[in-house]
Amino acid sequence: MRFDPYSEEFFEDPTDVYKWLRDNAPVYHNEERGFWALSRYDDVLRAHRDWQTFSSTHGVSLDDLVVPGPSIANNVIVMDPPEHDRLRALVSRAFTPRAIANFEPLVRSVEADFLDRLDGRSEFDIVADFSAPFPVEVISALLGVPPDGRQQIRHWTDEMLHREPGNPKPPKSAFRAAIALGGYLFELAQEKGGHPGDDMMSALCEAGLSDIEVASFAVLLAAAGSETVTKLIGSAVVLFARNPDQWRLVLDDAAAIPGAVEEVLRYVPPSQYQGRYAVADVSFEGVTIPADTPVLLLTGSATRDERAYDRPDQFDITRDHHIALGFGHGAHACIGAHLARLEARVALEEIRRRWPTFAIDEAGLRRVTMSNVAGYVNVPFSVTG
């Protein structure tokens, strides 16, 4: 078997290839594409904790990693401690559990606004009509992006991450979109520097970040904040349609929802792998990964590892979760995890309240083909109750 994160089979369903890797090649080397991959839970966890060996400064997506050299973007996700920690401390103040709890009314009203438009319809697309357009509205409101620019941010982000199956090179349209998004946010950062408002971009300008740094962080937040939550909710609806006994638990008691969100995150992590660059020789499972090579930490495989989870392929929302590896781990663990959990919880609460009985059209499901991100672009949904 062969593991190629740009292949059609991988985009369609990586479950079998992940199992094969864990059992037969837990320290996998893809010579053609020039990377290594860790797939077992313990190994992925150890690599996340060892930032000294596994650097993020060469990029965290495979496309960036296979063209070696430090990334130009001055951004938390592609920095190592101690620089990373200084910038992260500055930006993470806005994302503490208490700060995020204050956003619940905003999140609920943004989501309700999209869902209200669907009320009364018996068929719609729960991703295209709801989980794709709403997260970018939330993160843009926090950043201070004016309302008329918000959906455009999502379209640029979608294009920026799109990959043609079989081809690791980003298409030209991805570069164009990245430049347009960066340019837009850079101009906005400049405006905020001159006329600060009550928003995150202004706060970062006031905290002393340069316009470039503010724009670069805003690009990361726009992408991280809009793509992943979309995928989590789409996958949740599909999993509940396929596992009606689990949806019944949610219908019986809304208190089951936070556990359900964790289980969707484990079952199909929206971010399937984190890329790193090994700066020294390092051994796992008796195999040595040589220095100066890209290594993928396969989160999507680690969270299905039978060595770490009982019945890993069973979707069980009552499971105990100790470490939410789907949000990464260690120095780079997701800053937006509390916000993502809030958005997903509110979404499931609203779906439960509005459409307790629903079906999906399996034949109409369409997956994204993106760098790092996994999930659906279309989930046709019909109200059956």
For ligand HEM, the binding residues (CB under 6 A) are 56, 60, 76-77, 88, 139, 220-221, 224-225, 228-229, 232, 269-271, 274, 326-328, 332, 334-336, 339-340
Task: Return the number of the residue (14 or 328) whose C-beta is nearest ligand HEM.
Answer: 328
Task: Return the number of the residue (76 or 128) whose C-beta is nearest ligand HEM.
Answer: 76
* Beta strands 282-284; 376-378: pairing state: unpaired
Task: Return the number of the residue (64 or 159) whose C-beta is nearest ligand HEM.
Answer: 64
Residue type, 164: E
Of 238, 241, 251, 189, the closest CA to residue 215 belongs to 189
Minimum CB distance to ligand HEM, residue 99 (Å): 11
Minimum CB distance to ligand HEM, residue 302 (Å): 11
Task: Return the number of the residue (308 or 383) whose C-beta is nearest ligand HEM.
Answer: 308
Nearest residue to ligand HEM on Cβ basis: 336
Q: Which residues does 181 contact at the CB level (< 8 Å), separation at least 6?
A: 153, 156, 157, 160, 219, 222
Minimum CB distance to ligand HEM, residue 384 (Å): 27
Judge whether 271 and 326 are in contact, CB under 8 Å.
Answer: yes
Does residue 240 sit in helix, strand or coil?
A: helix
Minimum CB distance to ligand HEM, residue 286 (Å): 26
Task: Return the number of the residue (224 or 360) whose C-beta is nearest ligand HEM.
Answer: 224
Minimum CB distance to ligand HEM, residue 340 (Å): 4
Residue 162 DSSP code: B
Judge whether 74 and 213 are in contact, CB under 8 Å.
Answer: yes
Query: Cα(249)–Cα(262) distance, rounded to whole angstroms?
Result: 15
**Strand ranges (DSSP E) for 190-305?**
274-278, 282-284, 287-289, 293-297
Judge whether 173 and 162 are in contact, CB under 8 Å.
Answer: yes
Task: Return the number of the residue (88 or 304) whose C-beta is nearest ligand HEM.
Answer: 88
Task: Return the number of the residue (66 or 383) whose C-beta is nearest ligand HEM.
Answer: 66
Minimum CB distance to ligand HEM, residue 346 (Å): 13
Find the farthest-apart pair of alpha carbons in the chain and give their distance in angstroms, rounded: 60
Task: Return the number of the residue (271 or 301) whose C-beta is nearest ligand HEM.
Answer: 271
Q: Which residues does 312 contact at the CB level (< 8 Å), separation at least 6?
A: 303, 304, 305, 306
Query: Cα(204)–Cα(144) distance, rounded to whole angstroms?
Result: 11
Minimum CB distance to ligand HEM, residue 274 (Å): 4
What separation in angstroms does the CA of 223 have from each of 63, 139, 237?
A: 16, 10, 22
Query: Cα(295)–Cα(29) distance, rounded to whole angstroms?
Result: 9
Minimum CB distance to ligand HEM, residue 87 (Å): 8
Query: Cα(325)–Cα(231) distance, rounded to whole angstroms?
Result: 16
